[in-house]
Structure 1
Amino acid sequence: MRYLKAVLAALIGIQSEKNRRDDFSQPSPFGYIVVGIVTVICFLILLMLIVRWVVS
Protein backbone atom coordinates (compact mmCIF):
# COMPACT_ATOMS: atom_id res chain seq x y z
CA MET A 1 0.00 0.00 0.00
CA ARG A 2 2.93 2.31 0.71
CA TYR A 3 4.26 1.79 -2.81
CA LEU A 4 0.89 2.49 -4.39
CA LYS A 5 0.45 5.69 -2.39
CA ALA A 6 3.90 6.91 -3.43
CA VAL A 7 3.36 6.03 -7.10
CA LEU A 8 -0.05 7.72 -7.28
CA ALA A 9 1.32 10.84 -5.61
CA ALA A 10 4.17 10.91 -8.13
CA LEU A 11 1.82 10.45 -11.09
CA ILE A 12 -0.43 13.26 -9.94
CA GLY A 13 2.54 15.42 -9.04
CA ILE A 14 1.75 16.06 -5.39
CA GLN A 15 3.92 14.70 -2.63
CA SER A 16 5.30 16.17 0.55
CA GLU A 17 9.03 16.57 1.00
CA LYS A 18 8.94 14.22 4.00
CA ASN A 19 7.25 11.43 2.02
CA ARG A 20 9.66 11.92 -0.89
CA ARG A 21 12.64 11.59 1.45
CA ASP A 22 11.10 8.47 3.00
CA ASP A 23 10.59 6.94 -0.45
CA PHE A 24 14.16 7.60 -1.52
CA SER A 25 15.56 6.22 1.73
CA GLN A 26 14.31 2.71 0.87
CA PRO A 27 17.15 0.29 0.04
CA SER A 28 15.60 -1.05 -3.17
CA PRO A 29 13.48 0.73 -5.78
CA PHE A 30 12.11 -2.59 -7.12
CA GLY A 31 8.71 -2.29 -5.41
CA TYR A 32 8.17 1.23 -6.71
CA ILE A 33 9.13 0.19 -10.24
CA VAL A 34 6.77 -2.80 -10.29
CA VAL A 35 3.84 -0.86 -8.84
CA GLY A 36 4.54 2.04 -11.21
CA ILE A 37 4.50 -0.18 -14.29
CA VAL A 38 1.31 -1.97 -13.20
CA THR A 39 -0.38 1.34 -12.39
CA VAL A 40 0.48 2.86 -15.77
CA ILE A 41 -0.71 -0.27 -17.61
CA CYS A 42 -4.02 -0.19 -15.69
CA PHE A 43 -4.41 3.52 -16.46
CA LEU A 44 -3.83 2.92 -20.18
CA ILE A 45 -6.33 0.04 -20.28
CA LEU A 46 -8.91 2.19 -18.49
CA LEU A 47 -8.27 5.04 -20.91
CA MET A 48 -8.70 2.73 -23.92
CA LEU A 49 -11.97 1.37 -22.52
CA ILE A 50 -13.33 4.86 -21.96
CA VAL A 51 -12.40 5.93 -25.50
CA ARG A 52 -14.04 2.82 -26.99
CA TRP A 53 -17.18 3.50 -24.95
CA VAL A 54 -17.35 7.14 -26.01
CA VAL A 55 -16.70 6.39 -29.69
CA SER A 56 -19.32 3.65 -29.86
Structure 2
Amino acid sequence: MRHFFAALQSVLAAFFGVQSEHKRQSDFKQHSPRVIISLAVILFVVFISAIYAVVVAVLNT
Protein backbone atom coordinates (compact mmCIF):
# COMPACT_ATOMS: atom_id res chain seq x y z
CA MET A 1 0.00 0.00 0.00
CA ARG A 2 2.91 2.32 0.69
CA HIS A 3 4.20 1.83 -2.86
CA PHE A 4 0.78 2.78 -4.23
CA PHE A 5 0.74 6.08 -2.35
CA ALA A 6 4.32 6.82 -3.39
CA ALA A 7 3.38 6.20 -7.03
CA LEU A 8 0.24 8.32 -6.64
CA GLN A 9 2.29 11.17 -5.17
CA SER A 10 4.70 10.92 -8.07
CA VAL A 11 1.92 11.07 -10.66
CA LEU A 12 0.21 14.00 -8.94
CA ALA A 13 3.50 15.91 -8.75
CA ALA A 14 4.05 15.27 -12.44
CA PHE A 15 0.52 16.50 -13.25
CA PHE A 16 1.24 19.78 -11.49
CA GLY A 17 4.69 20.03 -13.03
CA VAL A 18 6.58 20.22 -9.74
CA GLN A 19 8.47 16.93 -9.94
CA SER A 20 12.23 17.11 -10.34
CA GLU A 21 14.09 15.05 -12.90
CA HIS A 22 15.95 13.21 -10.12
CA LYS A 23 12.68 12.24 -8.42
CA ARG A 24 11.17 11.09 -11.72
CA GLN A 25 14.14 8.86 -12.45
CA SER A 26 14.10 7.35 -8.97
CA ASP A 27 10.36 6.71 -9.23
CA PHE A 28 10.80 4.73 -12.44
CA LYS A 29 13.53 2.69 -10.73
CA GLN A 30 11.30 1.93 -7.72
CA HIS A 31 7.95 1.47 -9.48
CA SER A 32 6.89 -0.38 -12.56
CA PRO A 33 6.20 1.89 -15.53
CA ARG A 34 2.85 0.11 -15.90
CA VAL A 35 1.79 1.30 -12.45
CA ILE A 36 2.82 4.88 -13.14
CA ILE A 37 1.19 4.96 -16.57
CA SER A 38 -2.05 3.32 -15.40
CA LEU A 39 -2.34 5.74 -12.47
CA ALA A 40 -1.73 8.65 -14.83
CA VAL A 41 -4.45 7.46 -17.22
CA ILE A 42 -6.93 6.92 -14.38
CA LEU A 43 -6.24 10.35 -12.89
CA PHE A 44 -6.52 11.95 -16.32
CA VAL A 45 -9.94 10.37 -16.88
CA VAL A 46 -11.07 11.52 -13.41
CA PHE A 47 -9.81 15.05 -14.15
CA ILE A 48 -11.61 15.26 -17.51
CA SER A 49 -14.80 13.82 -15.97
CA ALA A 50 -14.69 16.42 -13.21
CA ILE A 51 -14.26 19.26 -15.71
CA TYR A 52 -17.12 17.88 -17.80
CA ALA A 53 -19.38 17.63 -14.72
CA VAL A 54 -18.62 21.23 -13.73
CA VAL A 55 -19.33 22.51 -17.24
CA VAL A 56 -22.61 20.60 -17.44
CA ALA A 57 -23.64 21.89 -14.01
CA VAL A 58 -22.84 25.48 -14.96
CA LEU A 59 -24.63 25.28 -18.29
CA ASN A 60 -27.75 23.81 -16.66
CA THR A 61 -28.15 26.72 -14.25
What band does the TM-score fall into relative to the shorter chain?
0.7 to 0.9
TM-score by length of 1: 0.84
Q: How many residues align?
A: 56
Higher relative contact order (CA 8 A, sep 6+): 1
Detail structure 1 runs of 4+ shifted over 3 Å in the superposition: none
Question: What RMSD over aligned residues (CA atoms) do the two structures have, in Å?
Answer: 1.5
TM-score by length of 2: 0.78
Identity of matched residues, %: 34
Q: Structure 1 or 2: larger helix share?
A: 2
Structure 1 unaligned blocks of 5 or more: none
Structure 2 unaligned blocks of 5 or more: none
